[in-house]
Amino acid sequence: MNLECIECGKKHDLSTVANTCSCDGLLEISYDLSEVNFSLKDRTAIPPHVWKYRELLPISGVPVSLMEGGTPLYRCKRLEAECGVKELYVKHEGMNPTGSFKDRGMTVGVSRAAELGIKTVACASTGNTSASMAIYAAKAGMKALVLLPSGYVALGKVAQALMHGATVLAVKGNFDDALLLIQRVCSEKGFYLLNSVNPYRLEGQKTIAFETIDQLATHKNANVPDRVIVPVGNAGNISAIYKGFKEFHELDIINKVPMMTGIQASRSAPIVDAFRRGLAQIEPVAEPQTVATAIRIGNPINAPKALRAIRQSNGAAESVTDQEILKAQKDLARLEGIGVEPASATSLAGLRKLIAQGTIDRDETVVCVTTGHLLKDPEAIMKACRPPIEVDANFDALYSTLSELERS
């Protein structure tokens, strides 16, 4: 195993707790893949979960695990017909222990913290990272410190962080401000930083790619998807999933790497902007806004990895409006029975937009990743749906309300 800077190539000592190189470049873990051998046949016999792939994970001891991963991959025939694409699957990451994909990264990140003998783990979070860190810190007996952007975190996520015992502080600023603060606190106080700048977290998240391949192998007609569409905030997840596909490709398990396609919310879209303009680096958005609070991020720390993933895989990047996001959320819920929080619905909203533009071919097999569960953000639901109608507790009142509804 190696820990290497993606910018200057410098190899770092595996015992380091630093997440970036002296040149400021992001670090990445790599393996000697000639040492790894498992066959597709062996893998499909075992049900999917994160630690099934431990030969390609950077932890050698007993992990801090709560049975994360193993999320369903749904074939979505009704949406497929509606969008006009050949095959559409949804990998529903809302079905993880805390209801988001963050659990995949956090089981590895907290296992790493345990190896290092860490007492306190910390993160800045738009919500889901904090919920996830809190459960693994609880399981490992560590303290958890969380900085949230005040007023912009969905209720379900704050509730989770609080109940699982994290110290939760609401910073009067946005996520980008909170991340700068927590990075300094971690380096000065010796707390272990568990944002997605931490390369161990991304190792866990790459198992989304592994599971997708193994699960598609059990669906008829499907093997490697042409395209994988991912909601993008701090840009760790799309980078991680790309890394997973690349490793399976290098191991000759798959014959191509899917086109990685990142979707951001239109007023929080620095990566889409850099992709369109062919820039080497993003220009941060100072005041990011969107109903999809999980991806309300103006200065994504993993942008260099994400741009590389999108460009090297011949993928795409697109932004979608809040209105398009909320429509996609409702359609996933009502056409397929898949309940997701707003940020997660950007993958479907992006699919629609890219089909309309002709960027996505109607002949493609597409996997949309839905990142978080519907119940994370009950306030968004109550704004999007008509509330229940009150009726008196008798048949006359009930029937008269029902016939009123039929007429309307």
Q: What, of ligand PLP, Zn ion, none, does residue 294 touch, CB below 5 to 8 Å by kind?
A: ligand PLP
Is the Cβ of residue 4 or residue 341 nearer to Zn ion in the bound state? Answer: 4
Neighbours of 302 (CB within 10 A): 25
Is the Cβ of residue 76 or residue 345 nearer to ligand PLP in the bound state? Answer: 345
Is the Cβ of residue 20 or residue 120 nearer to Zn ion in the bound state? Answer: 20
Distances (CA, A) of 155 to 129, 159, 393: 14, 6, 32
What distance in Å separates the CA atoms of residue 127 and residue 189, rounded to the nearest whole number?
A: 23
Give the x/- contact pattern for Zn ion in 22-61, rule: CB under 5 A: -x-x------------------------------------
Strand ranges across the sheet with 2-5: 11-12, 2-5, 27-30
Binding part of the chain for Zn ion, among 8-16, 286-294, 319-327, 360-368 by CB under 5 A, reads 8-16
Q: What, of ligand PLP, Zn ion, none, does residue 25 touch, CB below 5 to 8 Å by kind?
A: Zn ion
Enumerate binding residues for ligand PLP (CB under 6 A): 100, 102, 128, 196, 231-237, 294-295, 341, 343-344, 371-372
**Closest distance to Zn ion from the beta carbon of 192 (Å):** 21
Distances (CA, A) of 218 to 140, 223, 346: 35, 9, 27
Q: What, of Zn ion, ligand PLP, none, does residue 21 touch, CB below 5 to 8 Å by kind?
A: Zn ion
The reply on whether position 8 binds Zn ion by CB under 5 A is yes
Give the H or E element holding residue 92: strand 87-92
**Closest distance to Zn ion from the beta carbon of 2 (Å):** 13
Is the Cβ of residue 104 or residue 253 nearer to ligand PLP in the bound state? Answer: 104
Residues 159-218 within binding reach of Zn ion (CB under 5 A): none
What distance in Å separates the CA atoms of residue 99 and residue 128, rounded to the nearest whole number?
A: 8
Q: Which candidate, 122, 108, 73, 120, places its Cα nearest to that of 94? A: 73
**Closest distance to Zn ion from the beta carbon of 240 (Å):** 20
Whether 110 contacts 133, CB under 8 Å: yes
Q: What, of Zn ion, ligand PLP, none, does residue 343 touch, CB below 5 to 8 Å by kind?
A: ligand PLP
Whether 213 contacts 224, CB under 8 Å: yes
Neighbours of 7 (CB within 10 A): 14
- Report the interface residues with Zn ion, using CB under 5 A: 5, 7-8, 10, 21, 23, 25
